[in-house]
Amino acid sequence: MKNGVKKILILSGSPKKNGNTAALVEWFTEGAVSKGARVELIHTAFLKYKFPGCTSCRSCQKQVLYECVIEDDANPVLKKMASADVIVMATPLYFFAASAQLKVIIDRMFSLYKWDNVADTMKTTLKGKALVLLASAYENVGMEALERPFALTADYTGMTFDSLLVPDAGESGEIRKKTAAREKARALGERWA
């Protein structure tokens, strides 16, 4: 937190710029900004990658810096994650999981951790931060399956976890008709600002 202002980094994993995920991000941002937070949004679907995920080269584990050695659009995102106070991951439900567009960044987060298997220790630049999940689904099925990996990641990492799951959001953009979803997303943004 710089000068008492929280830095919130939002990673949107939707390939649609005006769909249900975009609405959740917009409402969360409204709430956070209204309380003075500084918010940055990155659309992971439009980043350019050399590889579609972590290559398991483990080179990041051999260096002092908490960085991925692959030079592409993921690197600046990972650096911003390390400097943010709150990391928001926003995604539609795709086959009971996060979108592939968001999963690429999640897999590359491997570089933000350092494991010492001999000493059985782990250090990370993410410890003490907050991880917030914003997610919607067309119908009311699979949201718990989507949420579970995010909650486990937060727990393992020493992060605070929170989420807003919106089932029955309907087709792309239809969530905008749901005033309760808007109010909840805005309140969540206010809470994490």
92-122: pLDDT as tens digits: 888 887 888 899 889 988 888 898 888 888 8
Q: What is the pLDDT of residues 127-142, one digit of tens each?
A: 999 999 999 887 888 8
Measured from the Cβ of residue 117, the count of other Cβ atoms closer than 10 Å reads: 8
Residue whose tokens read 């999963």? 103
The span from the CA of 183 to the CA of 179, in Å, is: 6
The span from the CA of 86 to the CA of 114, in Å, is: 21
Sign of CA dihedral 101, 44, 148, 116: positive
Structure tokens at 137: 């689904």
Residue 22, classified by CB atoms within 10 Å of its CB into exposed (0-12), middle (13-18) or buried (19+), is buried
Which string of b and e fits 48-75 if b means at least 16 CB within 10 Å? eeeeeebeeeeebeeeeebbbebeeebe
Q: Judge whether 41 and 12 are in contact, CB under 8 Å.
A: yes
Q: Which helix (H) or strand (E) holds 163?
A: strand 160-166
Q: Give the pLDDT band of residue 75 (cuts 50, 70, 90).
A: confident
Structure tokens at 119: 């000493």
pTM for the model stands at 0.91
Q: Judge whether 193 and 37 are in contact, CB under 8 Å.
A: yes
Q: How far is CA 120 from CA 62, 64, 117, 159, in A?
A: 16, 18, 5, 19
- What does the mean pLDDT of the chain come to? 88
Using DSSP's 3-state secondary structure scheme, residue 131 falls into strand
Using DSSP's 3-state secondary structure scheme, residue 128 falls into coil
The domains of the chain, with CATH numbers, are: 7-192 (3.40.50.360)
